[in-house]
Amino acid sequence: MKKLLVLALCAGLSTSLLAFQQEGVAEGNKKVSVYGELSNQDKSSMLYIGGSAGYYINNYIEVGGGLYGYINTYDGDTSEAITLSPYAQYNFSDYAPTIIPYVGVGLTYSMYEYGGETDSQLGFSLEAGGKFFTAPKTSFTPALFYQTNDYGDTLGVRIALEIYFD
């Protein structure tokens, strides 16, 4: 009886998860997203908030740009950063109807202010994640990322809500 109940529950969940086909990752679609990032650089943790916009040049490749930043107070000094990041992503859109793994690469240009001094850095980023579609044109997208610039290497986690348009 327990096996039958578990089987029925699994069948019901899989039917509800596959009740729609994602329509977001498709040639010509546009995407906007809002996200938060938690990263670690030089033994300090930072929380970033940002957004991005992208365009699908075909059913697999997205190009776009992001803008994110933070404000942090440490030992009486306030630090601020704003980062611009053009990117490209390859989406494995043939994987499943509602889950799409992806890999991405980008450039980063960051402007920092700390203790009254300003600086800017050019960097490089890599990321990998998955787009979990909760509706045909809405996805919840967690990702891991690595970023490097003159300040050092950063490893972090990004969580995004993405909305797609024709």
9-56 pLDDT tens trace? 454 444 445 567 788 899 999 999 999 888 776 656 778 899 999 999
pTM of the predicted protein model: 0.81
Residue closest to 149 by CA, chosen among 41, 30, 61, 24: 41
CA distance 129 to 86: 17
Q: What is the largest CA-CA distance in the chain?
A: 69
Quote the tokens at residue 21.
């086909």
SS3 of the chain: helix, strand, coil, percent, to 5: 10, 70, 20
Using CA of residue 19, residue 25, residue 91, residue 162, what is the dihedral sign?
negative
Amino acid 153: pLDDT: 87
Distance CA 67, CA 121 (A): 15
Of the candidates 143, 152, 123, the one whose C-alpha atom is nearest the C-alpha of residue 52 is 143
**Model pLDDT for residues 114-129, shown as the tens digit of each residue:** 778 899 999 999 999 9
Instruction: Calculate the average pLDDT of the chain.
Output: 85
Note the pLDDT tens digit of each residue in 47-79.
889 999 999 999 999 999 999 998 776 666 778
